[in-house]
Amino acid sequence: MRFPLFIAFRYLFSKKSHNAINIITAISMVCVAVVSMALVIILSAMNGLSGLVETLYNSFNPDIRIVPAQGKTFIIDSAQTVQLKKIPGLAYYTEVLEENALLEFDDKQLIASVRGVSPDFLEMTSFDTLIREGRYDVETRGDQTFCVAGRGLVGRLGIAVEDGFSLAPLHLLVPKRGADLNMSIENLDEETFVRKTTYVSGAYGINDDFDFKFVIVPIEFARELYGYGKESSMVEIGLDKGANTAAVAAEMQKILGSKFVVKDRLQQNALLYKTLKSEKLWTFIILLFILLIAIFNITGSLTMLILEKKKDIGILWSMGADRQLIRRIFFSEGVLISILGMVFGILLGLLVCCLQIEFGFYKFGEGFVVDAYPVTIEGSDILYILLSVAAIGLLASWYPVTIFTRKYLTVKFS
């Protein structure tokens, strides 16, 4: 294989009698490099964005969530609770009650979800890192209860968060359990609706799915608002670092039985994860189609090179070179064009990604959760790019060399 590769190197870098061959060869190499670079940059950018989305969703979604198989609320038996808390790897056990409520601030009203959480919700989620205005303060002190709301809700209601709380109260209204609701929203009397007051201590920012949806309050406040005793809508579990999520979830399901559904993060956001994976897959496929079109410039380059090197082929043939050796020379030429373009493109793509990670040249607009566009380089992506570009390059080199040399050598030198 050394001799064909040596000749291929000479052909690749030597000056051709027809300048068009040099130009087409250079274009072929540049096309492979550009598409390879684009694959590295785009896939790494999608990895970073997917990781950011997962991180944001995980601020609300725990490692494991327990929900009732039927109905909206439940009470887990105390004996089962003790068993659950003894499972190795369990770090946090947080009860959550979530229902809709009418929010009323001054003369503005809108519907949102009120989520009551246990005190260890903050430790489990580090939710205070998502506060964009004010501070995280979710507790009842004396006769005042404090909450945090999405900045979308805060903006629509016109709530001003100053010195860690809103000066005016936010009213939460929900229908009493079993009350007759055949009435207009203007007649919210105390016999039909429960009205409670809270003060907004901070506004969090994640994305529109959450920012326009949730108000977070203490769970005792939520239970009083909705008229529940010890009921919860869900139990959220935080695990120790390195804990086996699947094993813990399976053990919990075994303890709780069929009346409850235990979901890990993948199951909680199944549609989200499927969407992220399918977007990345289709992006990769589309870029490969572009590469397939670009890389077949090699076909034209090799065909023109074979025509130019007719005399060299004749000399090699007369010296005893067989058809297979001549094919390997021109096949090696095509492979070299593909590999050199691919390696240069991948290295350039990695350089761009590393510069973005280090310096964050490409930035988001103001008010976003991160300043610079996130980029994550994954070794598996680089491997897939190497294999895909190499495979397409081999195909683009093999076809013209095999077909053309078969016809040409048969006619000329048989």
Q: Distance between CA atoms of 107 and 168, rounded to whole angstroms?
A: 12
Q: Distance between CA atoms of 360 and 370, rounded to whole angstroms?
A: 10
Provide the pLDDT for residue 317.
62
- For the entire predicted model, the pTM comes to 0.77
Provide the pLDDT for residue 364.
77
Provide the pLDDT for residue 186.
55
Terminal C-alpha separation, the chain? 24
Q: Distance between CA atoms of 269 and 257, rounded to whole angstroms?
A: 22
Q: Which value, in Å, is the radius of gyration of the alpha carbons in the chain?
A: 32
At how many degrees (to 10) do helices 297-308 and 19-58 cross?
160
For residue range 188-198, what is the model confidence (pLDDT) as tens digits?
556 678 999 99
Provide the pLDDT for residue 181.
56
Question: Within 10 A of 61 (CB to CB), how many other CB atoms are there?
Answer: 18
Provide the pLDDT for residue 345.
94
Provide the pLDDT for residue 413.
47
CA distances from 259 to 56, 84, 153, 254 (A): 30, 15, 35, 11
Name the token pair of 340: 């050199």
Q: Judging by beta carbons within 10 Å of its beta carbon (0-12, 13-18, 19+), is residue 257 exposed, middle or buried?
A: exposed
Q: Distance between CA atoms of 236 and 262, rounded to whole angstroms?
A: 10
* Residues 306 and 405: beta-carbon distance below 8 Å: yes
DSSP string, 194-245: EEEEEEEEEEE-S-HHHHTTEEEEEHHHHHHHHT-SS-BSEEEEEE-TT--H
Q: Distance between CA atoms of 14 and 17, rounded to whole angstroms?
A: 10
Closest CA to 97 of 207, 226, 190: 226
The residues with which 363 forms a beta bridge, in sequence order, are: 372
CA distances from 145 to 114, 116, 137, 142, 200 (A): 13, 12, 9, 8, 9
DSSP string, 79-129: HHHHHHHTSTTEEEEEEEEEEEEEEEETTEEEEEEEEEE-TTHHHHH-GGG
Helix (H/G/I), strand (E/B), else coil: 259:
helix
Question: Within 10 A of 189 (CB to CB), how many other CB atoms are there?
Answer: 9
pLDDT < 50 regions, the chain: 411, 413-414
Helix (H/G/I), strand (E/B), else coil: 202:
strand
DSSP string, 321-378: --HHHHHHHHHHHHHHHHHHHHHHHHHHHHHHHHHHHHH--SBPPTTSSSSB------
Q: Distance between CA atoms of 55 and 72, rounded to whole angstroms?
A: 27
